[in-house]
Amino acid sequence: MRNYFFLILVFISLCSYGQQVAVLKYGGGGDWYSNPTALPNLIRFCNEQINTSMNEKPETVSPDSVELFNYPFVHMTGHGNVFFTNEEAENLRNYLLSGGFIHIDDNYGMDSYLRKELVKLFPNEELKELPADHPIFSSHFKFPQGLPKIHEHDNQRPQAFGITYEGRLVLLYTFESDLGDGWENPEIHNDPEEVRQKALQMGANIIAYVFEH
């Protein structure tokens, strides 16, 4: 009964905050704060292109905070080390299983650290690559080949991995794509506008998919 009331409170919280998003401030020394202009630009693009109504200044939230449950979408990025305490891992897991969603975008260098920490969240699940026909690649803009390549890291193809719980995608990990760099202000990386548009459109697809599911 206690768990039932907890889920009701989480549902009410997620509904009351509607379409708000947050950046995850994790421990371990990694630069969780990288790409500061990325999420505001993506939010602005989504508000204009897919009729969302998000606050253009995303909040910052810690993995062990009760405030985490206020946001239906949480974004995580960085280059280096990632570490979750047991309490943080438990809170993140409860958040995801209760209706939340996290998008993790490797800004280059976090892969090996991240994967071992995800085992704390889902010890019996593994990241599985999403096929190109997954609805997240066509929720608004069409990407028939799957995740677009934005920045070159190690000459590998871009991959989108996910963890699904009871038929719902709760975690998306984008690797060898670097969507966040493509979301940043154009003068930061000097990406061609076509590349930036692909990044923003794929980001909008992720947002649209999450809010519709």
Count how many domains the chain has: 1
User: Where on the phi/psi map is residue 25: left (φ > 0), alpha (ψ -120 to 50), or beta?
Assistant: beta
pLDDT of residue 18: 60
pLDDT band at 5 (very low <50, low <70, confident <90, very high): very low
Report whether pLDDT(107) > 60: yes
Instruction: Give the sign of the dihedral formed by CA 181, CA 184, CA 190, CA 196.
Output: positive
How many Å apart are CA 121 and CA 29, to the nearest integer? 19
pLDDT of residue 213: 82
pLDDT of residue 211: 94
Beta 102-106 vs 59-61: how paired, if at all? unpaired
Please give the residue range of the domain that contains residue 83: 2-212
Mean pLDDT of 102-113: 95
pTM: 0.90
Torsion of CA 162, 166, 168, 171, to 10 degrees: -30
With pLDDT > 70 as the criterion, what percentage of the chain qualifies?
92
The CATH number of whichever domain residue 169 belongs to comes to: 3.40.50.12140
Strand locations in 29-100 (E): 59-61, 73-78
For residues 61 and 23, the answer to whether their CB atoms sit within 8 Å is yes
pLDDT band at 122 (very low <50, low <70, confident <90, very high): very high
For residues 78 and 31, the answer to whether their CB atoms sit within 8 Å is yes
Tens-place pLDDT, residues 135-144: 999 999 999 9
